[in-house]
Every structure is written in C-alpha cells, then in structure tokens.
A and B are shown apart, each in its own frame.
Chain A
Amino acid sequence: MKSLFSILLFSVVFIVGAQNKTFQSGEKLVFTASYNMSGLMTDIAQVSMEANNVKTKSGTLLHLKCAATTYKKWDNFFKVRDLYESFVNPKTVTPYLYKREISEGGYYKYVKYNFKHKSKTVKSLIRKKSKNFESGFWDRNNTIKINSGTRDIVSTIYYLRTLDIKKAPVGASDTFTVLFDNKETKFSFTYVKKETINTAIGRKECYKLKIGVANNVLKGSNSNFLWLTADENKIPVFAKFKVAIGNGELKIKSATGLKN
C-alpha cells in the first residue's frame, strides 16, 4: 500500500511539479561520445548542450542547442556535424519550435517542427538532398496530430531534469511522448538507484535511470542508462546506450554556467 502511494505521488510530481528551477541561460555542458569497437571504447565525437535566452516579440524563450561534432582524426572517415535546437518556454520547457539539421558522412537531413499546442498539432517539414529537384532538396510538409505533453527530443531531455526525482521511490517510472521523424514515440525512465560515480567534473552522487523506448530504437531492456547528478542541477554526467549499430557511452567533460 505504501509503495503504491509513493508511485502515485511520484506520478503527480511528474505531471504537476515540473517548473524549471534546474537550468538557466548560459549553461553549457560538453560531453565525449565513445563507441565500442571490438570491445574497446573509442572516443569519436564531442557533444555539447547549451541553453541561451532568445528575445521574441511574445517574450523571452530559452534556446536549447545540442551539437555533435566528430573529432578531427575521424573527419576523413566519417564527418558528423549535427545540430539539434529547441525553443522552449523557460518555465515549463514546452517547445514552440524544433529544428534538427544533420550532416553525417555526406548524408543530409533537415527537420523542423512548429508546435501548435492549442490545436494539438505540429507543422512538420522534412528536407533531404535530391537530384530530382531544381533546388537540390526534396521537401515534405505535413501536419501531425499530437497528444498533449508531446515534446521533441531536446526539450524532453531538459524537461527530465526539472522533475523532482529526490521524492521518487526506487522502481518508480514515467513515460514521455517524443515526436521524432514525424512519429510519436514513448520513452520511459525508471529510477533504478542512487549511485556515486567518478566523472571529469569530480566524484558525483547520481540518480541512475533506466531508459526504455517503445519502438526499439534503443536495443535491449537493460542496456540503456542515464546518470543525473543528485543535486538541484541534475546534470546528465554519464549515459550508456545500445543502438542497432552497436553500443556507446556519453561522458561529461565540462559543465559551466550552472544555475545552482
């Protein structure tokens, strides 16, 4: 009975509690992305996550930007220059505009979502390179119906940090709906335990979360984890993931401009 009450309380916290007191404009997190090659983790790219204020006529939004860049030694083999952006409400982390522009080994894709929360729709644009069109690009426009609470991948990661995990019992979980490639995909996060790990920014006590994805983008039921610092900032410091092409890790390298 007690555990059922705790799970209900945790769910209420997830639904109601998330006002952003965790990150602010000026925060910058830098990570090293590694990929498992024949059993050895090899550093392949730098990933950075930044938050900055952006003034619009309707008010100030938070511009959340994630960029992935392969290290110089890999550029001749497989050059990656990815940019993910989300423009969100600074308090509720509700997205209004999402952009994803990827350039990976010659492959290019551009995705833009304009969120219309009142009508629960998203105006989507997907652009790819094509020789069949004069502009050199093939544009696909759609209007997608979404459920309330659906976010893009960037705002979901930042939104997760606003949740009051310290009140959650071990085993509690919640599901978030993420719009990716024009499809709503459910991501579940389960609180596994508190764990102290060594990171480049010091020894940190962290919340260990297990990540589950409905459509098997991430493989395995016990192979994808995220560690967030167990403080008011809840910085992601370490992540382990398993995808179709193998498994990898994301390790924090530096964290500046923290709110708390």
Chain B
Amino acid sequence: MKKLFIILGLITGALAVVLSVLPTFKIAFIPAALSFIFGLLAFWKSKKESASKHTVQLIFLFSITALSLATYKTIFETNEVGDIEQLEKREEESLENSIEELDEELEDIDIEE
C-alpha cells in the first residue's frame, strides 16, 4: 500500500510540475493537490513502519514546487497578445483591396437608400 501511494505521488507530482511550467498551469493544481495527499498517506505509512522517508520528501518537493509555481503564475502572470505585425499588414492590405472591390461592385447602388 505504501509503495502504491509513493508511485502515485511521484507520478502526479511530476505531472504537476510539468503542467505548472506550461501555459496550462491552472490545471496543475489538481495533480499537485493529489500528489500532496498521496505524499501525506505515504508519510503516515512510513511513520507506522518506521521506514525511510526520502522518497516521500521528493513527493512533497514536487507538489510544493508545482503549487508554488502555479499560484505565482495565477496571481502575477498577465495575458499579452503575441506578435501581430503580420496580422496588421493583412488588415491593411485587405482594406485596400476591399475598397477597390466595393468601388467596382457598388457602382449602381446608392448607400444612402
């Protein structure tokens, strides 16, 4: 049972750290919390059996790192739009072409109607 908690704790902890680094950091809270819980369960089992707790410490390290990183990013990270130079160029070209096209297509139409 202790081994199961350790394995699950390590998997969810590693997943949480990976997710917390990516733009999907908000999802990292779920595996980070699960990793912490598995860590606690593994710690309790280790204490009962008076076994080594090094692996359990690693699980806590993963979960706390992931939680800290995800929390920091949630509070401090701002949304910034990426490079839009090409989009702006497309917009300008499209507008020029559109005006030319409309001048041809709407020759017999009075917009005030």
Q: Which A positions have Cβ atoms within 8 angstroms of B?
A: 32, 37-43, 46, 54-61, 63, 65, 67, 69-75, 77, 79, 81, 83, 85, 87, 89-90, 96-97, 99, 101, 114
In the complex the two chains form, is A71's CB within 8 Å of B82's CB?
A: yes
Residue numbers in A under 8 Å from B77 (CB-CB): 73
A73 to B79 CA separation, bound complex (whole angstroms): 8
Residue numbers in A under 8 Å from B91 (CB-CB): 65, 67, 83
In the complex the two chains form, is A74's CB within 8 Å of B102's CB?
A: no
CB interface residues, B 62-109, toward A, < 8 Å: 77, 79-84, 86-87, 90-91, 94-95, 98-99, 101-103, 105-107, 109
In the complex the two chains form, is A67's CB within 8 Å of B87's CB?
A: yes
Say if the beta carbon of B49 comes within 8 Å of chain A: no
In the complex the two chains form, is B98's CB within 8 Å of A71's CB?
A: no
Would you give the shortest CB distance from A56 to chain B, in whole angstroms?
5
A98 to B32 CA separation, bound complex (whole angstroms): 47
Residue numbers in B under 8 Å from A67 (CB-CB): 87, 91
Say if the beta carbon of B52 comes within 8 Å of chain A: no
Say if the beta carbon of B18 comes within 8 Å of chain A: no
Residue numbers in A under 8 Å from B24 (CB-CB): 37, 42
Q: Known: A54-B99, A83-B87. Is A114-B27 also a contact (CB below 8 A)?
A: no
Would you give the shortest CB distance from B38 to chain A, in whole angstroms?
18
Residue numbers in A under 8 Å from B83 (CB-CB): 72, 75
Residue numbers in A under 8 Å from B80 (CB-CB): 71-72
In the complex the two chains form, is B110's CB within 8 Å of A101's CB?
A: no
